[in-house]
Chains A and B, each alone.
Chain A
């Protein structure tokens, strides 16, 4: 009897948490790929693979944090990755014109923040649909990438540069792990605490869950949404900074495929598409799942073209799980037959 209670009180709540499911999926995926790789004569379960996975999630982790926070307030920013590419290009252009790296980075992040604020004002104040206005902004940002490169060097092309600070950010290591990994973990912890432990985080969740009720409760929903758009854009800029630093090049087509990476990882990680549900822990595991999946596929030797197909399917599956859980949450529970009899 006592055992059963212990099971009910202690174990079941953990099992029912979304993050538990996610970790199970992650572990299952690692086991699957290990077996699959062994079957085709490759090695998946090796330190180098996990290092690869960590290295590959650095850039997308910042996108995920930004997109996740925004998604919690019920909005989407499709321009985020382009802001990142723009930020990277601005860093490259500034360093090329002999500005110190610190100034270049601050300038890039400020430009990203301004563009993010434009996004936020359009969505919160003017009530534009977030999808479509940020899609427009992504074109604007892409145009700015070309233009900033043209201003810096006279023609729209990739800019190579060499700078010790960015080199350290991009390819420096500390305790045998890339420096970016530490930044990523710190960011995840800070944002995780912000969302789940602070008043501001509670307000964010409330704005996402029910904007009207939040406004009636005296929360300035517009301010929070605009702040989150700025936050997403700046984090996009940070992602772009790490991306640029790694290759020591401001690339024109940078992050072209990352448009939905942050969004996908956040949705896989249990941040509900309608807003108001989710946290950073889930988003982190979601990101790990996404990248383990992709790196696993490449280790096993699947044609890289398939990975686009499978990533799309993964997004749809995550959406399906999200929708299914929402439906179950809002379904009215029918009383069981025997309880009805007892009542009668």
Chain B
């Protein structure tokens, strides 16, 4: 009896089907991309194609900025808001860092970039809390402003990160085959998950997202919570942007915006079971989802499918995530009605 309920609980977790899909996909990836089907030795499955060290590392590097943004996005979506200016904030933060690093030690430049991030967060907070703009459209507008600034201060060309030897070392350092940066991102994720599920602050986030009115009546300050969330988001986005530029030793005014890690992060967050309207979710599901999305597009890439199919599939994935969210929401609502009528 007890065992069955544990099994049921695992199956009910939103991450479980994703994990199963991921494992199947990994196996397919190992078989399809290693050339085993064309007569290569079976041991190639673990050393060539998808599993080749360079490929895996490239994927891990790609995930760093996505995971950073995902932590913030998941939190802000749990509280029932959204920030779509993450990519632009990350770019502008990285450019501020790169320009400051020319004239001062890189530690100080990082500090300035984070101060800028706090300012970005405060600007968003001001628009949503004081001016009462809908967070969606306000952050889109501000993202266009930041994107323009990025081009204005650079004239449209990339900025080399000068003298940042220590900084670039972060970008390329590895423990074994795993980049230090990736480990750092995972640690960040674990900390956020801990805060979400184990602390009073985390509980208050769920409450504010699930029932804003109730939260206010219970004495929570939704405006202050929103401010913390927006600042957190901006800081994480800029952190992601810094790590992204550390990989390349340069800050580019458009490359983060065009590779759209915030969109991947958002699809992953939804796919991983964070409700779009707030109030439920965790970070484990989104992590599995982000790996799933990257592995998926990587397989398509390795199989030589055109990049346009990947764009199409990104859109389809986002819609699939919405469908899953919809199905689980209706199921939960039905279960609640059933439970209510039972008594």
Question: Is the pair B312, A147 in contact by a Cβ cutoff of 8 Å?
Answer: yes
Chain B residues with Cβ below 8 Å from A138 are: 315
Chain A residue at minimal CB-CB distance from B260 = A139
What's the nearest-Cβ distance from chain A to residue B328, in Å? 13
Once the chains are docked, how many angstroms separate the CA of A122 from the CA of B319?
9
What's the nearest-Cβ distance from chain A to residue B248, in Å? 22
B129 within 8 A of A: no
Chain B residues with Cβ below 8 Å from A147 are: 308-309, 312
B133 within 8 A of A: yes
Question: Is the pair A139, B315 in contact by a Cβ cutoff of 8 Å?
Answer: yes
Prevailing SS type, chain A contact patch: helix
Q: A132-B322, A139-B318, A143-B308 are in contact. Are A309 and B145 (CB under 8 A)?
A: yes
Chain B residues with Cβ below 8 Å from A160 are: none
Chain A residues with Cβ below 8 Å from B152 are: 303, 305-306, 309
Once the chains are docked, how many angstroms separate the CA of A154 from the CA of B144?
35
A126 within 8 A of B: yes
Chain B residues with Cβ below 8 Å from A132 are: 266, 270, 276, 318, 322
A-contacting 9-mer, from B44-52, B134-142, B190-198: B134-142
Q: A131-B136, A306-B148, A308-B151 are in contact. Are A316 and B127 (CB under 8 A)?
A: yes
Once the chains are docked, how many angstroms separate the CA of A315 from the CA of B139?
11
Once the chains are docked, how many angstroms separate the CA of A313 from the CA of B266?
25
Instruction: For B148, give its contact among A127, A143, A307, A316 (CB under 8 Å).
Output: A307
Chain A residue at minimal CB-CB distance from B133 = A319
Once the chains are docked, how many angstroms separate the CA of A138 from the CA of B266?
15
Question: Is the pair A143, B313 in contact by a Cβ cutoff of 8 Å?
Answer: yes
What's the nearest-Cβ distance from chain B to residue A145, in Å? 8
What's the nearest-Cβ distance from chain A to residue B35, in Å? 26
B296 within 8 A of A: no
Chain B residues with Cβ below 8 Å from A45 are: none
Once the chains are docked, how many angstroms separate the CA of A177 from the CA of B270?
49
What's the nearest-Cβ distance from chain B to residue A130, in Å? 10
Question: Is the pair A312, B312 in contact by a Cβ cutoff of 8 Å?
Answer: no
Question: Is the pair B308, A156 in contact by a Cβ cutoff of 8 Å?
Answer: yes
Once the chains are docked, how many angstroms separate the CA of A129 from the CA of B82?
12
Number of interface residues of B (CB under 8 A): 43
Once the chains are docked, how many angstroms separate the CA of A272 from the CA of B141?
16
B147 within 8 A of A: yes
B250 within 8 A of A: no
Chain B residue at minimal CB-CB distance from A156 = B308
Instruction: For A139, give its contact among B147, B148, B277, B312 (CB under 8 Å).
Output: B312
What's the nearest-Cβ distance from chain B to residue A86, in Å? 11
Once the chains are docked, how many angstroms separate the CA of A14 from the CA of B16?
62
What's the nearest-Cβ distance from chain A to residue B76, in Å? 14
Question: Is the pair B322, A273 in contact by a Cβ cutoff of 8 Å?
Answer: no
Once the chains are docked, how many angstroms separate the CA of A263 from the CA of B134?
14
Chain A residues with Cβ below 8 Å from B267 are: 136
A310 within 8 A of B: yes
B201 within 8 A of A: no
Question: Is the pair A136, B318 in contact by a Cβ cutoff of 8 Å?
Answer: yes
Instruction: For A312, give its contact among B131, B148, B277, B316 (CB under 8 Å).
Output: B148
Once the chains are docked, how many angstroms separate the CA of A133 from the CA of B263?
12
Question: Is the pair B315, A316 in contact by a Cβ cutoff of 8 Å?
Answer: no
What's the nearest-Cβ distance from chain B to residue A46, in Å? 27
Question: Is the pair B306, A146 in contact by a Cβ cutoff of 8 Å?
Answer: yes
Once the chains are docked, how many angstroms separate the CA of A59 from the CA of B313?
28
What's the nearest-Cβ distance from chain B to residue A119, in Å? 10
What's the nearest-Cβ distance from chain A to residue B11, in Å? 24
Q: A146-B306, A315-B141, A327-B132 are in contact. Are A140 and B315 (CB under 8 A)?
A: yes
Question: Is the pair B312, A319 in contact by a Cβ cutoff of 8 Å?
Answer: no
A128 within 8 A of B: yes
Question: Is the pair B148, A310 in contact by a Cβ cutoff of 8 Å?
Answer: yes
Chain A residues with Cβ below 8 Å from B166 are: none
What's the nearest-Cβ distance from chain A to residue B320, in Å? 9
Q: A131-B136, A137-B315, A319-B138 are in contact. Are A143 and B309 (CB under 8 A)?
A: yes
Chain B residue at minimal CB-CB distance from A147 = B308
What's the nearest-Cβ distance from chain A to residue B177, in Å? 32
Once the chains are docked, how many angstroms separate the CA of A263 from the CA of B215?
33
Question: Is the pair B314, A139 in contact by a Cβ cutoff of 8 Å?
Answer: yes
Question: Is the pair A143, B142 in contact by a Cβ cutoff of 8 Å?
Answer: no
B311 within 8 A of A: yes
A260 within 8 A of B: yes
A135 within 8 A of B: yes
* Contacts of B248-307 to chain A: CB distance below 8 A: 263, 266-267, 270, 276-277, 306
What's the nearest-Cβ distance from chain A to residue B153, in Å? 9
Once the chains are docked, how many angstroms separate the CA of A306 from the CA of B146?
10
B33 within 8 A of A: no
A144 within 8 A of B: yes
* Contacts of A143-168 to chain B: CB distance below 8 A: 143-147, 150, 156
Pairs A-B, 6 closest by C-beta atoms: A143-B312, A139-B315, A146-B308, A308-B148, A312-B144, A309-B148
Give 15 CB contacts A-B under 8 Å.
A126-B326, A129-B277, A132-B270, A132-B318, A136-B319, A138-B315, A142-B312, A145-B308, A150-B306, A260-B140, A305-B148, A305-B152, A308-B151, A309-B149, A312-B147
Which B residues have a C-beta under 8 Å from some C-beta of A?
82, 127, 131-134, 136-138, 140-149, 151-152, 155-156, 263, 266-267, 270, 276-277, 306, 308-309, 311-316, 318-319, 322-323, 326
